């Protein structure tokens, strides 16, 4: 007789009975009968009651959200409504802010390995602050430039 499958209580993915932890959420699995797939998700506060970790472009926000989910940090991603901006905010609970900042810094370093030593990724301006600014130092970058005039970060071909 086969053993019953296990389920991740966070994302709902199904695993063989021998599995112990969800590979995506890093949380302990439960037996399928202990998990109600139709139960509503737990309430998470609106963005106005959370701490803003970063305001950024959609792709960056999604990648950061994946890293936060992998670390088990609850978060919310919402489109910012200021003007015509295509910026999204990534929000976390106050008690998770410091851990989320570490994950954000790791993400910045992995995406921008050319950042100068000692650079604090929290100094990257929010998308709402400057769209033509260097993501590393905040200096305005000419659209024709291949690198930042302030810190030398390679931006790409103009």
Q: Does 15 share its domain with 74?
A: no
Give percent of the chain above pLDDT 90.
15
Query: How would residue 98 be classed by pLDDT, with cut points 50, 70 and 90?
Result: very high
Query: How would residue 100 be classed by pLDDT, with cut points 50, 70 and 90?
Result: very high
Give percent of the chain above pLDDT 70.
75
Q: Does 85 share its domain with 61?
A: yes
C-alpha span between 132 and 22 (Å, rounded): 40
Q: Which domain holds residue 25?
A: 1-34
From residue 28, alpha-carbon distances to 11, 15, 40 in Å are 12, 11, 20
Q: Which of 1-5, 46-50, 151-155 has the lowest mean pLDDT?
A: 151-155
What pLDDT, on a 0 to 100 scale, did the predictor assign at position 44?
79
Q: Does 109 share its domain with 55?
A: yes
Dihedral of the CA atoms 70, 71, 77, 82 (nearest 10)? Answer: -130
């Amino acid at each position: 007789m086969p053993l019953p499958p296990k389920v991740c209580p966070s994302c709902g993915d199904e695993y063989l009975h021998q599995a112990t932890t969800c590979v995506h959420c890093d949380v302990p699995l439960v037996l399928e009968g202990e998990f109600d797939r139709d139960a509503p998700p737990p309430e998470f506060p609106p963005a106005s009651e959370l701490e803003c970790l970063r305001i950024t472009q959609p792709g960056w926000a999604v990648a950061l959200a994946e890293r936060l989910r992998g670390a088990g940090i609850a978060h919310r991603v919402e489109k910012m409504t200021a003007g015509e901006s295509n910026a999204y905010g990534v929000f976390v609970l106050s008690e998770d802010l410091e851990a989320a900042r570490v994950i954000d810094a790791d993400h910045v370093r992995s995406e921008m390995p050319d950042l100068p030593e000692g650079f604090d990724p929290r100094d990257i301006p929010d998308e709402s602050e400057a769209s033509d600014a260097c993501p590393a130092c905040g200096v305005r970058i000419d659209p024709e430039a291949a690198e930042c005039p302030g810190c030398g970060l390679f931006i790409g071909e103009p």
